[in-house]
Amino acid sequence: MNAPIRIGVLRLADSAPVIMAHRQGLFARHGLETEIVVSPSWANIADGLAWKKLDAAVIFCPLAMMTALGRRGHDAFLRPLTTISRGGNTIMLRGVNPVETIWHAGSHGRRAFDVWRSSIGRRPRIAVVHIYSTHLLILRRFLKMIDVDMESDIELVVMPPVDMIHALSEKKIDGGCVGPPWGAEAERLGVAFRVGGSSTVFPDHVEKIMVTSGGLSCSEEQAQAMTLALQEAITFCQTPHYQQDVTAALAAPLPAGGLALPAEATRSVLPGGSEQEAINFVAGALQKHDIEWIINDMVALGWLENSEQQTLMRWSASNTMASAPFIPL
Amino acid sequence: MGDGRPALVVLVADANPRRGSALSETLRGDSSLRVLTVPAEMALIDAVQLHAPDVVLVDMARADRDALDSIRALSQPAQERPIALFVDEDDAALMETAFDTGICSYNVVETPPRDVKPLLRAAIALYSRFRRTREELSEAQRILAERKLIDQAKRCFMKNEKTSETQAHRWLQRRAMQTSRRIAAVAEEYLAAQKKDDLS
């Protein structure tokens, strides 16, 4: 294979390991020629994987699963290679926080929600980045924790994270659940306050994973090389000592191989940063407990059939023998 | 509308306004279509909810395409005619060309492929033409920039070595051949070296 391996990422701080592996030549050292494709939308990532425009991507589990099941038109042979990151999502709202802390489970949170809602004066419009996102599952669980029903008590909207900041300041939306560094950036700009997030809803939940598609999924040798390169990059990104290097790489402009992320907010969400919802970069196979809750929540939302649920459980390493070859869906 | 069917409402959602209006113009040539565009400041999902189109031609460079994926999953009662990504599994070549070109189509779920495919093909043709023009333009710009660089290097060489333009050109040419590089690269290197000398 002479064509470079095309890896899709979005402009998010948890894309860091792929950016660093590419920039620092870790992929090349493992014999892989790579090309980073910065995608404007999650739909582009999913369609890229399904229609042979991407060989791999950094993605969240729900969308990867729906894509593998053929929701983009035809089945895509996706293989989860390694986890990339855990946690990092922020739930933020505009206006004034009536309790000056994050919102705790039960009546404390419910009361805060009611006071805040009446100050907003409408059924709150809360945004997520994609319908099949971890963000939606985390938001739904958060609302459930404070006894608020996602279906009836709020209006759910979907928009890109960068647009959310603008929409919050224009009062077009009232809140959002968003990935790093956009929650920290919204707070820094003073357009929203944080009420919860990954750490309060499901500490250390798996957030981004690396999946391969098509031919790359079938090549054991390349999959292994890519896993090793990513492991090294993930260790690098997880080391607080390199926080500045990673920040500089992510803040670099797109033509220079960066993601043009806001530097200050990005630094604060990287390991060693000051943010409560900082990212944890962790490599490793998906475990049963990583995907069980995701699949259960997806079933509860009516996205999956029972048979599909069984199929998807095969994504966890603990469900197959370690030495057994990967079974395509 | 000769066959008495109501006009098919097509929404063009292009991030490039010039290309978007060119595509709209092309489609308006077909009287069985009612062609609308998404204004620059409007979110795609809002335009879809406002116009309830049968077909939406979406520029894949748009970041707000993700909202269209949510329409069915959220099953919002406001959206009476859910739309979904158009995929013709029997025509993988067309689908791959479309994704390659950077255009896709979302349609009211029951729309038959025979209504969608001509629109998608027209969009692909137009996008390809725009891309070719852009590539030609950037190629022309590159050639112009190189020519400027070579002229500058020649002038510099003529001044330094007190030679004619022909001699300067020959020197650059020879050096390019000796080092198997392009003349523009040699010119750039020569100018950089001069700059360094001027500084020291």
In A, minimum Cα distance to B60 occurs at A44
Is the same domain home to B131 and B184? no
Is B187 part of any domain?
A: yes
Q: Do A280 and A204 contact (CB within 8 A), yes or no?
A: yes
Count chain A–chain B contacts defined by CB atoms under 8 A. Answer: 74
Is B1 part of any domain?
A: no
B197 has pLDDT over 90:
no
Is B147 part of any domain?
A: yes
Is the same domain home to B180 and B152? yes
Is the same domain home to B144 and B129? no
Q: Give the per-residue pLDDT at A215.
A: 83
Of A38-42, A244-248, A281-285, B139-143, the range with the lowest mean pLDDT is B139-143
**At B31, which CATH number?**
3.40.50
Is B3 part of any domain?
A: no
Confidence of residue B132 (pLDDT cuts 50, 70, 90): confident
Suggest the residue from B56, B60, B65, B69 to mutate for an interface test with chain A (most A CBs closer than 10 A): B69
Tell me the chain B residues in contact with residue A53 when contact means C-beta distances shorter than 8 Å: 99-100
B71 has pLDDT over 80:
no
Mean pLDDT, range B161-184, rounded to an integer? 92
Q: Given B135, B158, B187, which residue is the final one in a domain?
A: B135
Is the same domain home to B122 and B88? yes
CB B60 to CB A47 under 8 A? yes
Q: Does B87 touch chain A (CB under 8 A)?
A: yes
A144 has pLDDT over 60:
yes
Tell me the chain A residues in contact with residue B96 when contact means C-beta distances shorter than 8 Å: 51-52
A19-57 per-position pLDDT tens digit: 999 999 999 999 999 999 999 999 999 999 998 899 999
Is B19 part of any domain?
A: yes
Q: Give the per-residue pLDDT at A202.
A: 96
- Domains of chain A plus CATH, in order, are 5-86+205-319 (3.40.190.10), 90-201 (3.40.190.10)
Is B81 part of any domain?
A: yes
Is the same domain home to B27 and B122? yes
Tell me the chain B residues in contact with residue A72 when contact means C-beta distances shorter than 8 Å: 85, 87
Mean pLDDT, range B99-106, rounded to an integer? 92
In B, minimum Cα distance to A162 occurs at B63
Q: Does B64 touch chain A (CB under 8 A)?
A: yes
CB nearest to A51's CB, from B45, B69, B95: B95
CB B64 to CB A303 under 8 A? no
Is the same domain home to B80 and B129? yes
B13 has pLDDT over 70:
yes
CB nearest to A158's CB, from B60, B66, B87: B66
A321 has pLDDT over 50:
no
Is the same domain home to B127 and B153? no
Is the same domain home to B83 and B118? yes
Is the same domain home to B123 and B148? no
CB nearest to A160's CB, from B66, B73, B99: B66
Confidence of residue B7 (pLDDT cuts 50, 70, 90): confident
CB A51 to CB B104 under 8 A? no
Query: For every residue of chain B, which 3-state class applies, written as one string?
Result: CCCCCCCEEEEEECCCHHHHHHHHHHHHCCCCEEEEECCCCCCHHHHHHHHCCCEEEEECCCHHHHHHHHHHHHCCCCCCCCEEECCCCCCHHHHHHHHHHCEEEEEECCCCHHHHHHHHHHHHHHHHHHHHHHHHHHHHHHHHHHHHHHHHHHHHHHHHHCCCHHHHHHHHHHHHHHCCCCHHHHHHHHHHHHHHHHHC
Peptide linkage before A181 cis (omega within 30 of 0): yes
Q: Given B114, B135, B156, which residue is the final one in a domain?
A: B135
**At B173, which CATH number?**
1.10.10.10
Confidence of residue B131 (pLDDT cuts 50, 70, 90): confident
Is B17 part of any domain?
A: yes
More confident residue, A210 or B196: A210
CB B66 to CB A162 under 8 A? no
Is the same domain home to B88 and B147? no
CB A132 to CB B65 under 8 A? no
In B, minimum Cα distance to A127 occurs at B67
Is B2 part of any domain?
A: no
Separation CA B103–CA B120 (nearest Å): 8
Q: Given B135, B158, B174, which residue is the final one in a domain?
A: B135
Mean pLDDT, range A305-312, rounded to an integer? 89
In A, minimum Cα distance to B15 occurs at A40
Domain that holds residue B98: 8-135
CB B85 to CB A47 under 8 A? yes
Separation CA B193–CA A134 (nearest Å): 54
Mean pLDDT, range B51-72, rounded to an integer? 89
In B, minimum Cα distance to A10 occurs at B63
Bridge pairing between strands A56-60 and A208-213: antiparallel
Beta-carbon count within 10 A of A297 CB: 18
A247-256 per-position pLDDT tens digit: 999 999 999 9
Can you point out the beta strands (E) in A110-233? 125-128, 155-158, 175-178, 193-197, 208-213
Predicted complex ipTM exceeds 0.90: no
Is the same domain home to B18 and B102? yes
B26 has pLDDT over 60:
yes
Is the same domain home to B115 and B35? yes
CB B96 to CB A42 under 8 A? no
Residues of A with CB under 8 A from a CB of B: 40-44, 47-48, 51-53, 72-74, 129-132, 156-160, 162-163, 301, 303
Q: How many percent of chain A have pLDDT more than 90?
A: 85
CB A74 to CB B89 under 8 A? yes
Query: What phi and psi values does residue B103 have, to the nearest 5 degrees?
Result: -130, 145
Q: Give the per-residue pLDDT at B3.
A: 60
- Domain count across chain B: 2
CA dihedral of B130, B133, B137, B138, whole degrees rounded to 10:
60
Q: Do A7 and A57 contact (CB within 8 A), yes or no?
A: yes
Q: Does B49 touch chain A (CB under 8 A)?
A: no
Chain B residues 19-48 with CB within 8 Å of chain A: 43, 45
